[in-house]
Amino acid sequence: MPASFMSAITPLLSGMEMIKVPIKASATFVELSDQMLSFELNMIKSVTDAGWNTTRHFLPWTGPFSQKKFSEYLGICQEGTDGLLNLARESITTHFDRFHQERQGELEFINLFTEELPSQDWITRSEHRKVLLDLPSLKLIDISADIPHNIHNYTVVFAPRAGHHSNIAEQVAIYMRDHGMTRMAVVEQKCAEDIPLYVDGKRHHEDFENQIEQYRRVLEHVKDMTGYPTHMVAICQPGPLLMMTLILHPGLGKTFGSAGSPMHTEGEHGYLTDFARLMGEDYIDKLISLFCHTVSDEHVGVGRKCFDGRLQVLGFYLLGMDQHIANFSNLLSDLKHGNAEDAERQKVFYQWYNYVHHFPVSFIRDTYRKIFIGNELIRRTLIIGGRRIGIQDYPASVPVWALGGTEDQITPPLQATGHMDLIESLAPEDKLTLICEGGHMGLFRSKRVLKDYYSRIVTFLLEKSDKRKH
């Protein structure tokens, strides 16, 4: 996969590399100047110290009555000279250090976009992480708390396939785990370059039907482990597919919930859905023809057709450009002023944000047509495995929750929660609809949203759980 989203815009990348040259030169010049002036000040101090020491050597010749006073006078003069030299050194060094810090901050900022990005992974410690199932396009990873469990049900957090690494779902999973949902697993989506073209000798099509089949296998595996159905949590994109899986296999879910998911793309106007319907159903085929590549033979998915994830990330940048510009301004300021902790948080975020995952062509085509154009789950025009299903078929045995954000430009709040009013099979106490003040990323990363909203989701899930008898 590309090391960075920036590889899609090489002219800008080249320009940033050129900018680094004068910045490095000025930083080096200041560093050398600082060293030279420090050396000169040290020489001056050595000379003056030698002068004062030589003068003291001749004190006995001044006579017994004036020697003590003259020595005190010399000490005062030497202290004054040293003070002036230290003041000059501090003043010069402060200005040089500030200038050098600013140039180093600028270089670090540019390096964030020009240097190879660190590989992305889950931050959960390895001893608490175990791969339970490795399927063609996803992994089921156990991150359960190492404590006695009070509930039998696993909570499985399904990460999105959205051009980024799946660890976007980790903070949600860890928060829920640490606040009562102790049996916890996450579903990691693989980059299309890592999905084999043939599985068990058969051509593997990574479309909606195949993704749903893999979701089924995940949920069955977890239920087989405990004997109890799963709390299903969809982070963004998996929401509709996970609900489709539940409708087809209702016995696998204890509860179902989604955050920032495109559940009802006609719930309100949104840029993505309005643009998709304006461009029409065939627009995705034009994009695929322009931004598709075949996986090369150094990858597991050799021969598979991929949709370039860099285009997806570019779209996210354009949708949230105002916020990104503000973030970049704050990051540059923090780097130039040495605010290491604040700068590191933003750096880690953009190292993740720019680390690209590609899409299987059939999956991106189905997502565009079935979700953003057709809204097929809501309209009940969706056909999976020869069966027509819709939200009207939602099982009455599975409580549901949904979370949206008022500032979400990817999935506006009523697209994320509008389906809740269409589920008529559940009693009011089995439905939880939440809308927070926040953007799309804030639904999964904001400490405030985790505390104020996921705490209520955890309470809802614990009430519905199969509890251990003491």
Query: In this structure, are 180 and 102 located in the same domain?
Result: no
2 has pLDDT over 60: no
**pLDDT, tens digit (0-9, with 9 covering 90-100), for 189-219:** 999 999 999 999 999 999 999 999 999 999 9
pLDDT of residue 213: 96
Residue 336 maps to a domain = no
Q: What does 21-85 look like in DSSP terms, one character per residue? A: HHHHHHHHHHHHHHHHHHHHHHHHHHHHHHHHHHHHHTGGGG-TTTHHHHHHHHHHHHHHHHHHH
Higher pLDDT, 99 or 330: 330
For residues 352 and 156, give the distance between their C-alpha atoms in angstroms, rounded to a whole number: 22
Instruction: Tokens for 422, please give them.
Output: 């269409």
Which of 91, 114, 137 is a domain's end point?
114
**pLDDT, tens digit (0-9, with 9 covering 90-100), for 359-375:** 999 999 999 999 999 99
- pTM assigned to the model: 0.85
Domain with 245, as residue range(s), is 126-308+356-464
Query: In this structure, are 379 and 258 located in the same domain?
Result: yes
Residue 333 maps to a domain = no
Query: In this structure, are 70 and 193 located in the same domain?
Result: no
pLDDT of residue 25: 76
pLDDT of residue 437: 94
Query: In this structure, are 373 and 291 located in the same domain?
Result: yes
**pLDDT, tens digit (0-9, with 9 covering 90-100), for 395-415:** 999 999 999 999 999 999 999
Query: In this structure, are 75 and 171 located in the same domain?
Result: no
Query: In this structure, are 404 and 433 located in the same domain?
Result: yes
Across 133-141, average pLDDT: 97
92 has pLDDT over 90: no
Residue 119 maps to a domain = no
Least confident of 83-87, 154-158, 350-354: 83-87
- Is 328 within 8 Å of 343 (Cβ atoms)? no
Using the CB atoms, write b or e for 335-351: b if 16+ within 10 Å. bbeeeeeebeebbeebb
Residue 351 maps to a domain = no
Residue 204 maps to a domain = yes
* φ, ψ dihedrals at 172, nearest 5°: -60, -50
Query: In this structure, are 257 and 369 located in the same domain?
Result: yes
Mean pLDDT for the chain? Answer: 88
Classify 295 in phi/psi space as left (phi over 0), alpha (psi -120 to 50) or beta: beta
Query: In this structure, are 76 and 140 located in the same domain?
Result: no
- Which CATH number do you get for residue 266? 3.40.50.1820
**pLDDT, tens digit (0-9, with 9 covering 90-100), for 113-122:** 888 888 888 8
Query: In this structure, are 86 and 161 located in the same domain?
Result: no
pLDDT of residue 315: 87
Residue type, 353: Y
**pLDDT, tens digit (0-9, with 9 covering 90-100), for 250-303:** 999 999 999 999 999 999 999 889 999 999 999 999 999 999 999 999 999 999
Which of 53, 87, 114 is a domain's end point?
114
Report the number of distinct structural domains present in the chain: 2
Helix axes 67-114, 340-353, angle to 10 degrees: 20
Burial status of residue 90 (CB atoms within 10 A of its CB: 0-12, 13-18, 19 or more):
exposed
Residue 37 maps to a domain = yes
Q: Among 214, 193, 234, 175, which residue's Cα sits nearest to residue 400? A: 234
**pLDDT, tens digit (0-9, with 9 covering 90-100), for 153-171:** 999 999 999 889 999 999 9
For residues 455 and 434, give the distance between their C-alpha atoms in angstroms, rounded to a whole number: 12
Query: In this structure, are 99 and 147 located in the same domain?
Result: no
pLDDT of residue 1: 47
- Per cent of the chain over pLDDT 70 is 84
For residues 23 and 307, give the distance between their C-alpha atoms in angstroms, rounded to a whole number: 37
Across 100-126, average pLDDT: 84
389 has pLDDT over 70: yes
137 has pLDDT over 60: yes
**Taking the C-alpha atoms of 71, 76, 79 and 84 in order, what is their torsion angle to the nearest 10 degrees?**
-140
Instruction: Tokens for 145, please give them.
Output: 């708390």
For residues 264 and 374, give the distance between their C-alpha atoms in angstroms, rounded to a whole number: 10
Give the H or E element holding residue 199. strand 198-199
Helix, strand, coil percentages for the chain (3-state, nearest 5): 55, 15, 30
Which of 55, 83, 114 is a domain's end point?
114
Instruction: Tokens for 65, please give them.
Output: 């009555």
59 has pLDDT over 90: no
Residue 335 maps to a domain = no
**pLDDT bracket for residue 65 (50, 70, 90):** very low
Query: In this structure, are 9 and 149 located in the same domain?
Result: no
Q: What does 302-345 look like in DSSP terms, one character per residue? A: TT-EEE-HHHHHHHHHHHTHHHHHHHHHHHHHHHHTT-HHHHHH
Residue 254 maps to a domain = yes
Query: In this structure, are 106 and 188 located in the same domain?
Result: no
pLDDT of residue 278: 93
Q: Among 176, 185, 166, 249, which residue's Cα sits nearest to residue 212? A: 249
